[in-house]
A and B are shown apart, each in its own frame.
Chain A
Amino acid sequence: MGSRASTLLREEEIEEIKKETGFSHSQITRLYSRFTSLDKGENGTLSREDFQRIPELAINPLGDRIINAFFPEGEDQVNFRGFMRTLAHFRPIEDNEKNKNYSGDFIAFRLYDLDRDDKISRDELLQVLRMMVGVNISDEQLGSIADRTIQEADTNGDNSISFNEFIKVLEKVDVEQKMSIRFLH
């Protein structure tokens, strides 16, 4: 229902979201319209099923993990604020606002670190690898890939990758360029 979109989102809310995430006014209204069109239950929140209804997301090997990134710890519903906060991580960072909170590194780390203990263990790495390759590579080969990766990244010898070690590995990669999405105004 189109007419609900602009009436349910109040100006003050838009301003707050603008300050918090840095999206422009038109982007926020556009994303709100997207939010409501995904919200089939029409109760102002999105559940995991709502996300899974997007076919292109459902066939993405990391689809479930990405959906998880939207939901705060232990919760099953995400409201519009939470939705925008997660999306803000993918906004390209302007030069004048080096806001450390919205960095693609952290989201990427989260995608690996399922139990949120701030470390990527060998198991967690294996899980993500398995999701990406499906059934096409054997357990041993996958294991050796995981071992090699941890060996290269792990500097303090605890056999897992912490956030700092993760960042160091990615230093060479221009994260902002690759993680951020081209938004149109």
Chain B
Amino acid sequence: MKTLLKIFEWATLRIERGAKEKNHPLYKPYSNAIIAREPTSLEQEIKEIRRSGSNRDFDSASEFEMSDIFYFARRGVESIMDDEVTKRFSAEELESWNLLTRSNYNFHYISLRLTVLWGLGLLIRYGFLLPLRVTLAFTGVGLLVFLTSVIGLLPNGRMKNFLSEKVHLMCYRICVRALTAIITYHDSENKPKNGGICVANHTSPIDVIILASDGCYAMVGQIHGGLMGVIQRSMVKACPHIWFERSEVKDRHLVAKRLSDHVEDKSKLPILIFPEGTCINNTSVMMFKKGSFEIGATVYPVAIKYDPRFGDAFWNSSKFGMVNYLLRMMSSWAIVCSVWYLPPMSREEGEDAVQFANRVKAAIARQGGLVDLLWDGGLKRGKVKDTFKEEQQKLYSKMRTGSEIHLCTSD
């Protein structure tokens, strides 16, 4: 592992040196933010603009000036050049090259040694690692389906639960080997217990496999057709998962009811939920949907952080389909990640679901070293709601209250 890292660093150094020799300006994405942005408030900025020009004594923030427009214009253009949200939906950029063309933005022919090394890496990955992993994957999935169906035939009871646990763990561990995922679990004493809800940040479907190979969870999700559907149906036979029909998903009350029923039954396994609702690229945590936090059960937060140097686990679903994604995963060097089990949290007095969700989100972000964003992951596909714009407008018009002008609508 460490040798691989050293090789990567050497490779990058070679590229840099080679570029300097040939006077090719190097494209270094990681270390170059384009602009420095300061999060100043609307009021502060406009007051500053006014103050720099006006020599009036009294507080002139109450009247409109033509220069007010500058604040909005500048923020607008800054966000065109670099914004916090859209870059979360594409893969993270790396500092040193890890010998995979897919993460290289700078591929010039630099030196023979480098190309040879790259070619060697290619050979190892596609010729040796990939077939090995694919066979393991097939074995794992096949075993899962077969064994869970067998167990489903047994009568309900302790034996069944025990066996199903063993089977699930074993199959997931095979799948983990299939991806060569090197996982470090931290703080296992905080592992989720029965009757609780486990929430985690979402980067890819592999998250499920990673968590499930260390403990048993009840999964929540839509019933798919095809291979996924077969797997889902057989899993349900061995131990209770919560699968929804596509039509049921829209009905929030139904969803909440089923979840709380499951949670109240203390013999059932903890539920695994990803409240972001979509895959984010593992540099940040986006808004948590409040549904799972309304139920009132104990929440066990889990932070998952991938190390992108060995293989980027982010699934960009608009770019790659599932099969394509899995192939890319299996032909990377490895998937390295850390899983932190955080101490359980419950909703406090006087806290509503949204505040609770934000508190959990902040804890996960802090532990995983991710940026904590308030934006909704749904922005990947949808437009932002107009209410946010109206908030900005309200803020600005509040400033306009001078002695002569009164707001006609109260907020």
Name A residues whose Cβ lies closer than 8 Å to a Cβ of B.
2-3, 5-6, 25-27, 29-31, 33-34, 37-38, 51-63, 66, 87, 90, 104, 107-108, 111-112, 128-129, 131-138, 141, 144-145, 148-149, 153, 161, 166, 169-175, 177-179, 181-184
Partner of B67, one of A27, A29, A170: A170
Q: Tell me whether B49 and A173 are in contact (CB under 8 A).
A: yes
Partner of A57, one of B29, B67, B79, B87: B79
Q: A61-B389, A90-B77 are in contact. List 14 more A-B contacts (CB 8 A).
A: A3-B107, A34-B82, A57-B83, A59-B392, A90-B74, A108-B66, A137-B405, A141-B405, A145-B405, A169-B67, A173-B49, A174-B52, A174-B53, A178-B74
Q: Tell me whether B389 and A181 are in contact (CB under 8 A).
A: no
Tell me the smallest distance from the CB of B70 to a CB of chain A, in Å.
5
Complexed CA–CA distance, A63 and B74 (Å): 11
Q: Tell me whether A52 and B396 are in contact (CB under 8 A).
A: no
Complexed CA–CA distance, A153 and B393 (Å): 25
Q: Tell me whether B392 and A61 are in contact (CB under 8 A).
A: yes
Q: Tell me whether A108 and B27 are in contact (CB under 8 A).
A: no
Q: Tell me whether B67 and A184 are in contact (CB under 8 A).
A: no
**Chain A residue at minimum C-beta to C-beta distance from B411:** A136
Q: Given that A58-B389, A137-B407 are known contacts, is A178 also in contact with B80, CB under 8 Å in the complex?
A: no
Partner of A182, one of B25, B35, B106: B35
Partner of B397, one of A58, A66, A137, A149: A137
Q: Which of A131, A178, A182 has the most CB of B within 10 A?
A: A178
Complexed CA–CA distance, A51 and B81 (Å): 10
Q: Contacts of B127 on A, CB cut-off 8 Å?
A: none
**Chain A residue at minimum C-beta to C-beta distance from B410:** A136
Complexed CA–CA distance, A132 and B392 (Å): 8
Q: Tell me whether A133 and B393 are in contact (CB under 8 A).
A: yes
Q: Contacts of A34 on B, CB cut-off 8 Å?
A: 34, 81-82
**Interface positions of B from 376 to 411, Cβ below 8 Å from A:** 379, 383-384, 388-394, 396-398, 400, 405-409, 411
Q: Tell me whether B86 and A37 are in contact (CB under 8 A).
A: yes
**Chain B residue at minimum C-beta to C-beta distance from A57:** B79
**Interface size (B, Cβ < 8 Å)?**
72
Segment from B97-105, B136-144, B354-362 that makes contact with A:
B97-105
Kindly supply a per-residue 1/0 record for chain B positions 58-98, scoring 1 wherever the CB is within 8 Å of any chain A CB and 0 otherwise: 00000111111111111111111111111100100100000
Q: Contacts of A132 on B, CB cut-off 8 Å?
A: 68-69, 72, 393, 396-397
Q: Contacts of B86 on A, CB cut-off 8 Å?
A: 37-38, 53-55
Complexed CA–CA distance, A59 and B80 (Å): 12
Partner of A175, one of B70, B78, B379: B70
Complexed CA–CA distance, A135 and B54 (Å): 29
Tell me the smallest distance from the CB of A21 to a CB of chain B, in Å.
13
Partner of B79, one of A6, A56, A112, A183: A56
Q: Tell me whether A182 and B36 are in contact (CB under 8 A).
A: yes
**Chain B residue at minimum C-beta to C-beta distance from A182:** B36
Q: Contacts of A90 on B, CB cut-off 8 Å?
A: 74, 77
Complexed CA–CA distance, A31 and B29 (Å): 11
List 15 interface pairs A-B (beta carbons < 8 Å), by A numbering. Answer: A3-B107, A6-B27, A37-B87, A55-B375, A58-B389, A60-B76, A62-B73, A63-B389, A132-B72, A149-B64, A170-B53, A172-B53, A172-B55, A174-B52, A174-B53
Q: Tell me whether B105 and A149 are in contact (CB under 8 A).
A: no
